[in-house]
Amino acid sequence: MDNLALCEANNVPLTPITFLKRASECYPDRTSIIYGQTRYTWPQTYDRCCRLATSLISLNITKNDVVSILAPNVPAMYEMHFSVPMTGAVLNPINTRLDAKTIAVILGHAQPKIVFVDHEFAPLIQEALHLLPFDDSKRHPLIIFINEIDSTTKPSSKELDYEGLIRRGDTTLSSAASLFRVRNEHDPISLNYTSGTTADPKGVVVSHRGAYLSTLSAIIGWEMGIFPVYLWTLSMFHANGWAHTWSMAARGATNVCIRYINAREVYMNIDLHGVTHMACVPTVLKILLEGRRTNLTHRSAPVRVLTGGSSPPATLFEKVERLGFQVMHAYGLTESSGAALYCEWQDEWNRLPKQQQMQLKARQGVRNIIIDEVDVKNTKTLESVPRDGKTMGEIVIKGNSLMKGYLKNPKATSEAFKHGWFNTGDLGVIYPDGHVEIKDRSKDIIISGGENISSIEVEKVLYMHQKVIEAAVVAMPHPLWGETPCAFVVLKKGEDELVTREGDLIKYCRDNMPHFMCPRKVVFFNELPKNSNGKILKSKLRDVAKTLVVDEDDAGSKKVYRHGVEHVSSRL
Amino acid sequence: MDNLALCEANNVPLTPITFLKRASECYPDRTSIIYGQTRYTWPQTYDRCCRLATSLISLNITKNDVVSILAPNVPAMYEMHFSVPMTGAVLNPINTRLDAKTIAVILGHAQPKIVFVDHEFAPLIQEALHLLPFDDSKRHPLIIFINEIDSTTKPSSKELDYEGLIRRGDTTLSSAASLFRVRNEHDPISLNYTSGTTADPKGVVVSHRGAYLSTLSAIIGWEMGIFPVYLWTLSMFHANGWAHTWSMAARGATNVCIRYINAREVYMNIDLHGVTHMACVPTVLKILLEGRRTNLTHRSAPVRVLTGGSSPPATLFEKVERLGFQVMHAYGLTESSGAALYCEWQDEWNRLPKQQQMQLKARQGVRNIIIDEVDVKNTKTLESVPRDGKTMGEIVIKGNSLMKGYLKNPKATSEAFKHGWFNTGDLGVIYPDGHVEIKDRSKDIIISGGENISSIEVEKVLYMHQKVIEAAVVAMPHPLWGETPCAFVVLKKGEDELVTREGDLIKYCRDNMPHFMCPRKVVFFNELPKNSNGKILKSKLRDVAKTLVVDEDDAGSKKVYRHGVEHVSSRL
């Protein structure tokens, strides 16, 4: 029946760049960005992005070139999410918390033509560049600094800086029209590294189509209405700020940019600008608890907070909501270019006891609207696990927002996509109501006497103990059962091992979970080792746990543990 | 940089069918459809759709076949929006208000293999089939009746009916897996006729990709949160219910289906089921005013109403909002598979006087999130008109939700898409704030002495007259100025020409608009002629106006009008 040809009017390649032009035309009077004293409207942001894009083109940036940026959540970071793809190039935002060595590995792998660097990170990039192997065939990237817009120390006229490139950009209509037009929506738009610490860097390549659909699902999944005032407490270098960079243009939002994410800055900006929305990793929720203030609860509507990135304990949600925030929980990976699951709230749940509500909220939820399928599969049989909320399996995903693959890493790419799914490496369960809950990273699961023990489940119980502020559970070797849980715990200030003894905590665990799940060892730390994103480095804890030896008789009545660093003994 | 191949995990053809499977898995306990005593959950709706699809396949329905349906907003109508494309076939919903002759033209043009017919329209389809030219090469379509689910008059076991097909459908997993899978997202999903009255039927073909993106934009444009309770006051045969058919599955909504759209049914169902959302043409808003009730304003939140389809007067919005509804105005065409513009509300406008608010609300708004571009262009120079809210031009659109074209009508298709845009045929202006307002259909504009007069502008002023309940303004011939406005007016019951004289109304117009825009003739009707969608048939009024002759001396002091039907005289 159908021999209708497509034409330019009804077949437009999907790309999130279009949301910026739309914002400039449909929301001409609205504020796009607030950063300190700096204010832009959407037409100004569009103009600045066009200018930078034309300047980049004049610097020979062209399709599929990589342009990196090392910067916090400043306006330039936001703008480059549009201006770089406007040239056909691929944006590579680099985590500012990485060390020089890791940044050098990323630069060596991504081969950017230009690296934009916030002035604060000038020493870091210099150090990274020195670590880059010198190679005549590969020139060092051009470095362009991003100085504060209202900075009094202007760069010399010869020196290239971000604002200089914008000033010299050409925005006559013909130039804007001559900007790159996406022809193939599967072309890459961004390159985000999940890991660069080893010789096996994993650079996640996301397409224009993927980013476009992620943008729409980010709006729908969070039920984000028109004109939000969005505070950037989520780093834009995290999966392009879970695609919120582009979503905010699509929604005509006001982006409140802050350089440093701390309680004072967050609360001050919420008050000053009437923030309605923010997204963050659970660590930031903890920061909010520290710097609590009272008058947030007097606002007409609570600030809506989207959180995800690690499995936060339900108790954390409850505490944050008491401060006047309304928390939504989501789950995603860099590979899914933002949240793939949202814990969609059902009004009926409001009638449940608060604690039960928070347990429901701590689940990762149901797949977002543009994800085609999510399943939990037995890792051996590859069959779907029953929807019983108990049987664990690996969470697997199909959908257009998934990455195209890892740059120059076919082995990791085919491993990630084997069996026709994206294999997340996260182990979870699926409930009768369709909600998915993560139980562990597959490498973090503890297998004890053939039983799978979710380290997250054990941690949850530890977090509910009133003296514990941080807990991480990993496997330690056990002569009889292969592995057994070992807990690393940080106590609240003022508490210490003398007050809360290891034995007390283990007894508390025995009272609150099946015995086979209980840690047989508790180690007290002042601080847990974390990576640049604030995630607890369980690999390091495993290294410590490996050095602990269990000397246990069959009756389990007497044990001596030897620790590599210190000697610890305990009685169960 | 990019040689990454796509795979089945990250490259999924876009189709709204996926939203149904998602709803059945993510919202297993939620009610999908309410119709009288009938209730389904999302898994039940998914099961029914799979069953019907397998039955259709067993009836040799295959890719690109047309399956028509002639039915009101009953569950079958909803389900067929999924089950028909699940077979690869194309759904053709037929307007139930059409006459047999027009339906015969559509059936002759669309060539459906099967026509599903609601029992109420059995005589109508029989009449239409008799009008179909008999042709050995083209067999008549198979007719399958849709009876009420709880009907006591069961069809005989041999007779095919809708519920019978569902009962005999096969839903073993293997069958569901064997259902058609969309390979090319540009393949057609639906066929909606905008006009079938002439020898030039226009059947709008929409693709899976277009329908998918329309579904997402319908959610975002209306800011539709999770789990709405949606009352079907918009006919599903209107551009697939503006894509709300698919949106409701995507949102886990409850679809409240009603057979007859009248004030009693609407208010009763709002109360009974806690309706949160409804969409309708402005005519339905008028119905709501007639059957007003009081306790709607006591609800915690107003019922949200999306309206569009013709240009409603601002006063209508105000009256409806006073009843406890919150109206949003949108603009779309069958060719844009739903709303292309939404009048996105800005909170600052709440501070304006109510009348000014309603005037802002009566504008058609800004383009939806997935529309690539909307412009208003001078029809001669093809240049964009200035954004001054005054200069008229034709509204043109680019975007993925636009139709593929008109079925078997290359002439109309290329006309619609000439100059690289979809040309709406609607004349409008664009304001400095980016909002578009429609002034007229291009064929309805009145050109008087070289001046363009928007018939809608004149009508707006007439609608503000307290005795006028309906008004339509068309061109009548004028010896000097070529054309001049002629108004057709329906007065409130109890008022008549004796009370409100033509001269009074013309004087009222002169007091409220520029003289050149004033109607030189007012004709009073008891009812205006309307088409099956309730739109006023201006073509018929133009026929009447053509027979009116202006006999006017240069000074304009004395006129005699002769009407084809009746003699009318008036003084200005």
Q: Provide the percentage of residues in chain B whose pLDDT is more than 90.
A: 60
For A394, the token pair is: 């690996």
Determine whether the interchain pair A22/B345 forms a contact, defined as Cβ–Cβ distance below 8 Å. Answer: no
Provide φ and ψ at A395, rounded to 5°: -80, 125
For A272, the token pair is: 């000053």
Q: Can you give the residue range of the structural domain that contains B523?
A: 446-568
For B560, the token pair is: 């005699």
Evaluate if residue B194 carries a pLDDT over 80: yes
Task: Spell out where B495-540 has E strands.
Answer: 521-524
- CATH classification of the domain holding B165: 3.40.50.12780
pLDDT of residue A315: 81
Provide φ and ψ at A135, rounded to 5°: -150, 120
Chain B's closest residue to A11, CA to CA, is B400
Whether A57 contacts A82, CB under 8 Å = no
To the nearest whole Å, the CA of A90 is away from the closest chain B CA by 9
A chain contacts of residue B366, beta-carbon cutoff 8 Å: 25-27
For A496, the token pair is: 């210490």
Q: What is the DSSP string of A115-152?
A: EEEEGGGHHHHHHHHHHSPPBTTBPPPEEEEE--TT-S
Residue A505: is it exposed, middle or buried by C-beta count within 10 angstroms (0-12/13-18/19+)? buried
Q: Which residues contact A309 (CB under 8 A, 6 or more apart)?
A: A238, A281, A282, A533, A535
3-state secondary structure of B396: strand
To the nearest whole Å, the CA of A165 is away from the closest chain B CA by 25
Number of Cβ atoms within 10 Å of the Cβ of A408: 17
pLDDT of residue B569: 27
Q: How many CB pairs under 8 A join A and B?
A: 168
Closest partner residue to B372 among A2, A6, A12, by Cβ? A12
Determine whether the interchain pair B405/A4 forms a contact, defined as Cβ–Cβ distance below 8 Å. Answer: yes
Determine whether the interchain pair B19/A420 forms a contact, defined as Cβ–Cβ distance below 8 Å. Answer: no
What are the angstrom distances between the C-alpha of B206 and each of B175, B198, B235, B237?
Answer: 27, 22, 18, 13
Are A415 and A463 members of one domain?
Answer: no
Provide φ and ψ at B567, rounded to 5°: -95, 130
C-alpha to C-alpha distance for A492 and A499, rounded to whole angstroms: 11
pLDDT of residue B58: 92
Structural domain contains residue B319: yes
* Number of domains into which chain A is organized: 3
Whether B31 contacts B39, CB under 8 Å = yes
Are B213 and B243 members of one domain?
Answer: yes
What DSSP state is assigned to residue A374? E
Average pLDDT value for residue range B412-430? 94
Last residue of a domain, one of B387, B403, B430: B430
Are B129 and B62 members of one domain?
Answer: yes
Are B178 and B263 members of one domain?
Answer: yes
For B515, the token pair is: 């003289």
To the nearest whole Å, the CA of A130 is away from the closest chain B CA by 24
A chain contacts of residue B18, beta-carbon cutoff 8 Å: 372
To the nearest whole Å, the CA of B60 is away from the closest chain A CA by 16
Evaluate if residue B200 carries a pLDDT over 80: no
Structural domain contains residue A420: yes
A chain contacts of residue B223, beta-carbon cutoff 8 Å: 223, 225-226
Are B419 and B453 members of one domain?
Answer: no
Q: What Rg value do the Cα atoms of chain A yield, rounded?
A: 25
Evaluate if residue B564 carries a pLDDT over 80: no
To the nearest whole Å, the CA of A545 is away from the closest chain B CA by 37
In 3D space, the residue among B210, B221, B252, B12 whose CA is nearest the CA of residue A371 turns out to be: B12
A chain contacts of residue B216, beta-carbon cutoff 8 Å: 216, 220, 369-370
Determine whether the interchain pair B367/A434 forms a contact, defined as Cβ–Cβ distance below 8 Å. Answer: no
Structural domain contains residue B440: no
Chain B's closest residue to A225, CA to CA, is B223
B chain contacts of residue A397, beta-carbon cutoff 8 Å: 9
Structural domain contains residue B12: no
Closest partner residue to B399 among A12, A25, A398, by Cβ? A12
Closest partner residue to B4 among A19, A367, A413, by Cβ? A413
Its sign, for the CA torsion A564, A565, A569, A572, is negative
pTM greater than 0.80 (yes/no): yes
Determine whether the interchain pair A1/B28 forms a contact, defined as Cβ–Cβ distance below 8 Å. Answer: no
Task: Look at strands B229-231 and B277-280 and give their pairing.
Answer: parallel
For B363, the token pair is: 């504008």
C-alpha to C-alpha distance for B356 and A503, rounded to whole angstroms: 72
pLDDT of residue B260: 94
* pLDDT tens per residue, range B162-176: 999 999 998 776 666
C-alpha to C-alpha distance for A398 and B12, rounded to whole angstroms: 8
C-alpha to C-alpha distance for A368 and A331, rounded to whole angstroms: 10
ipTM entry:
0.86
3-state secondary structure of A567: strand
What DSSP state is assigned to residue B418? G
Number of Cβ atoms within 10 Å of the Cβ of B537: 13
Q: What is the DSSP string of A302-355?
A: PEEEEE-SS---HHHHHHHHHTTEEEEEEEEEGGGTEEEEE----GGGGGS-HH
B chain contacts of residue A345, beta-carbon cutoff 8 Å: 226
For residue A303, the cross-strand partners are A325
Structural domain contains residue B13: no
Counting runs of H as helices and runs of E as strands, what totals does chain B give? 18, 28
Q: What Rg value do the Cα atoms of chain B yield, rounded?
A: 25
To the nearest whole Å, the CA of B223 is away from the closest chain A CA by 5
Structural domain contains residue B254: yes
To the nearest whole Å, the CA of A1 is away from the closest chain B CA by 6
Are A268 and A412 members of one domain?
Answer: yes
For A182, the token pair is: 């996406």
Structural domain contains residue A442: no
Whether A257 contacts A232, CB under 8 Å = yes
Are B400 and B540 members of one domain?
Answer: no
C-alpha to C-alpha distance for B456 and A84, rounded to whole angstroms: 45
B chain contacts of residue A188, beta-carbon cutoff 8 Å: 1-2
Are A315 and A459 members of one domain?
Answer: no
Determine whether the interchain pair A420/B26 forms a contact, defined as Cβ–Cβ distance below 8 Å. Answer: no
pLDDT of residue B565: 29
Q: Which amino acid would we find at residue B29?
A: D
Determine whether the interchain pair A25/B434 forms a contact, defined as Cβ–Cβ distance below 8 Å. Answer: yes
A chain contacts of residue B220, beta-carbon cutoff 8 Å: 216, 219-220, 250
Which residue ranges of chain A lie beneath pLDDT 70? 2, 134-138, 151-159, 173-177, 195-199, 292-300, 310-311, 495-500, 533, 549-572
Q: What is the DSSP string of A154-212?
A: PPPTTS-BHHHHHHH---SHHHHHHS---S-TTSEEEEEEEE-SSSS-EEEEEEHHHHH
Is pLDDT larger for residue B320 or for residue A494? B320
C-alpha to C-alpha distance for B500 and A80, rounded to whole angstroms: 64
Q: Which residues contact A477 (CB under 8 A, 6 or more apart)?
A: A483, A484, A545, A546, A548, A549, A550
Is pLDDT larger for residue B362 or for residue B384? B384
Q: How confident is the model at residue B301 (pLDDT cuts 50, 70, 90)?
A: confident
A chain contacts of residue B191, beta-carbon cutoff 8 Å: 1
C-alpha to C-alpha distance for B176 and B48, rounded to whole angstroms: 11
To the nearest whole Å, the CA of A98 is away from the closest chain B CA by 24
Provide φ and ψ at A306, rounded to 5°: -100, 130
Whether B269 contacts B258, CB under 8 Å = yes
C-alpha to C-alpha distance for B394 and B385, rounded to whole angstroms: 9
Is pLDDT larger for residue B135 or for residue A467? A467
In 3D space, the residue among B66, B44, B27 whose CA is nearest the CA of residue B171 turns out to be: B44
In 3D space, the residue among B376, B372, B184, B380 whose CA is nearest the CA of residue A8 turns out to be: B372
Give a three-class secondary structure readout of A498-524. CCCCHHHHHHHHHHHCCHHHCCCEEEE
pLDDT of residue A570: 28
Q: Tokens 């306006």, residue?
A: A75
C-alpha to C-alpha distance for B561 and A498, rounded to whole angstroms: 106
C-alpha to C-alpha distance for B223 and B242, rounded to whole angstroms: 15
pLDDT of residue B561: 33
C-alpha to C-alpha distance for B228 and A223, rounded to whole angstroms: 12
Determine whether the interchain pair A11/B225 forms a contact, defined as Cβ–Cβ distance below 8 Å. Answer: no
Q: Tokens 């076949």, residue?
A: B65
* pLDDT tens per residue, range B497-550: 565 688 889 999 988 888 888 999 999 988 899 877 677 888 889 989 988 866
Find how far residue B128's CA is from the centre of its chain. Answer: 24
In 3D space, the residue among B425, B509, B500, B502 whose CA is nearest the CA of residue B459 turns out to be: B509
Whether A524 contacts A491, CB under 8 Å = yes
For A361, the token pair is: 């909220």
Are A147 and A202 members of one domain?
Answer: no
Q: In what order do the strands lie in the sheet with B567-568?
A: B549-552, B559-562, B567-568
C-alpha to C-alpha distance for A254 and A275, rounded to whole angstroms: 9
Determine whether the interchain pair A398/B8 forms a contact, defined as Cβ–Cβ distance below 8 Å. Answer: yes
Are A531 and A413 members of one domain?
Answer: no
3-state secondary structure of A64: coil
Are A543 and A461 members of one domain?
Answer: yes
CA atoms within 13 A of residue A60's CA, in its CB half-sphere: 5
DSSP H/E element including A539: helix A538-546
Chain B's closest residue to A29, CA to CA, is B433
Structural domain contains residue B6: no
Closest partner residue to B400 among A10, A26, A29, by Cβ? A10
Whether B489 contacts B556, CB under 8 Å = no
In 3D space, the residue among B350, B305, B343 whose CA is nearest the CA of residue B323 turns out to be: B305
Closest partner residue to B413 among A4, A366, A402, by Cβ? A4
Are B329 and B456 members of one domain?
Answer: no
Q: What is the DSSP string of B201-246?
A: -EEEEEEHHHHHHHHHHHHHHTT--SS-EEE--S-TTSHHHHTHHH
For residue A451, the cross-strand partners are A448
Last residue of a domain, one of B430, B460, B483: B430
C-alpha to C-alpha distance for B566 and A335, rounded to whole angstroms: 75
Last residue of a domain, one of B430, B460, B488: B430
To the nearest whole Å, the CA of B34 is away from the closest chain A CA by 19
A chain contacts of residue B1, beta-carbon cutoff 8 Å: 64-66, 90, 111, 188, 191, 205, 407
pLDDT of residue B99: 85
